[in-house]
Amino acid sequence: MESPKIERALISVSDRLGLADFARALVDLGVQIFSTGGTRRFLEHHQIPVQDVSAYTGFPEILEGRVKTLHPRVFAGILARRNRTDDMQTLSHCEIVPFELVVVNLYPFEATINRPGTSELEAIEQIDIGGPSLVRAAAKNHHFVTIATAPEQYSSILDELRTYGHTTLELRRRLAVEAFERTADYDRAIATYFRRQFSEQAFPSVQTIVLRKKADLRYGENPHQAAALYYDTAARGASLVSARQLHGKELSYNNLLDLDAGLQLVRSFPQPACVVIKHTNPCGAAMADTLVEATRRAFEGDPQSAFGSVVAFNRTVDAATAEWLSQPGWFVEAMVAPDYEAAAIGILTTRPRWRENVRLLQIGPLDDPRVERQYRHIQGGMLVQESDHLPDIPSQWKTVTLAAVPPELGPDLEFAWMVVRHVKSNAIVVAKDRMLRGCGAGQMSRVDAVEIALRKAGPAAQGAVLASDAFFPFPDSIEKAAQAGIAAIVQPGGSRRDDEVIAACNHHGIPMVFTGRRHFRH
């Protein structure tokens, strides 16, 4: 099928980035441009020859611009099949000109609804009608029509026009796919907005998630698995996907999973904090008055596991922290922080071993993006749940033992509880002086998780606190905690054997607090 020469282009855009140069290049290639409203005025301002669509159709723009391009002379010119004699005869009979190029990007609905204080009426006026119709018509007829929906596509179109005198079917097919993806994304944003405005249904009957590819990854969890990184078009706030990489080779699939786990945990700390992650679980975590002190304590909690880890910070990485990290014996795969001092970047990117390998990610202010829904793929479908983002309020916790929690252990219990909710179940955390001393993660038996956490903590378990992400089904874990010298325990409660567990704590004089909220993390 012969590719048609582009003689006419219909242009109607909201995002005018690069438009003047693109349109001027089209005119230089002999393309006649038709346009509407604000786009036409923009082109005229840049002294680019343009035909008014209303003059062509013989019908004015009406309803304050709600109706501009919705006319048979426009859509027939886009949808006519150039290899059909009857189609082309119809165009000739009705004095309709064909359009071989359609350039449309849509009203900024997403940007409008994300602007604070936007009213429902303002949102409604940013629902594009003619734009998606033009896009879909051109994409449907991509055998003969080229559709551009984003400024970054202009260069590919011009390259082919200059090389071949027309666009290739391969390019038109790719642009058509991107066009349908854009209209699907746009409709999803509108539907989501109105569902949140008017529907009381927590989980809609149809769930649409629109993802756009950001990058191909070297491989997935293992070298034989292909992988890619996508971003959620509805996501807002600071995230790894929007982070800026300042140094180092590209991130791997596993790096991203670990960094995300660290970021989720470190966000929860109110003071300078460092989190060390291995296989999505914290092997080190600490809060302190300074970032360098928090970092030192986080790494020294489990130095063996910390080698080859990823690290997350909740404060700007300063030179002192960078100096401590780059000393002999430590090595991390990647780190993420709100920002880095220039001196810290210099230290981390010039020291032997670090300069070639470490990836530095700058995420910006750690505002909480508050993910409302979590999605987990299972064979044949998807699990969707509300995110576990509700804050834990220590003033609402209940001491259930005869012994009260000594005031000096309160901060450690709160710290341990912040950490354990980010550890894979079954999860046990041992903490002391706002520092993770031992972690038992992802065990099939809770008592096994207790044994691992206590073994990791070693002598530091004496006088430390212990946190459990779910209730203790039996008092055996309390016995082991008592033998190790644990000074206080925090857990959700809710077991049928709570009385036995409480009795064991009373027997050993260990105060125990019930939070009333479980934090399973499968």
11 phi, psi to nearest 5 deg:
-120, 125
Q: Which residues are catalytic?
A: 140, 279
Pick from 468, 371, 370, 492: which is nearest to 419 by CA? 468
d(CA 246, CA 239): 15
Q: Which two tokens stand for residue 254?
A: 């596993």
Distance from chain centroid for Cα 81 = 41
d(CA 452, CA 435): 17
Pairing status of strand 332-337 against strand 381-386: unpaired
d(CA 249, CA 71): 52
Contacts of residue 323, Cβ cutoff 8 Å, sequence gap at least 6: 292, 347
Burial of residue 301 (CB within 10 Å: 0-12, 13-18, 19+) is: buried
Token pair 């034989």 is at which residue?
Answer: 224
d(CA 506, CA 503): 5
CB 419 within 8 A of CB 429: yes
Q: Which two tokens stand for residue 197?
A: 């405005």
Burial of residue 395 (CB within 10 Å: 0-12, 13-18, 19+) is: exposed
Pick from 284, 229, 254, 242: which is nearest to 422 by CA? 284
Other Cβ atoms less than 10 A from the Cβ of 135: the count is 26
d(CA 236, CA 451): 40
- Residue 311's DSSP bridge partners are 276, 335
The three-class DSSP label of residue 364 is coil
The three-class DSSP label of residue 123 is helix
d(CA 120, CA 456): 55
d(CA 252, CA 9): 43
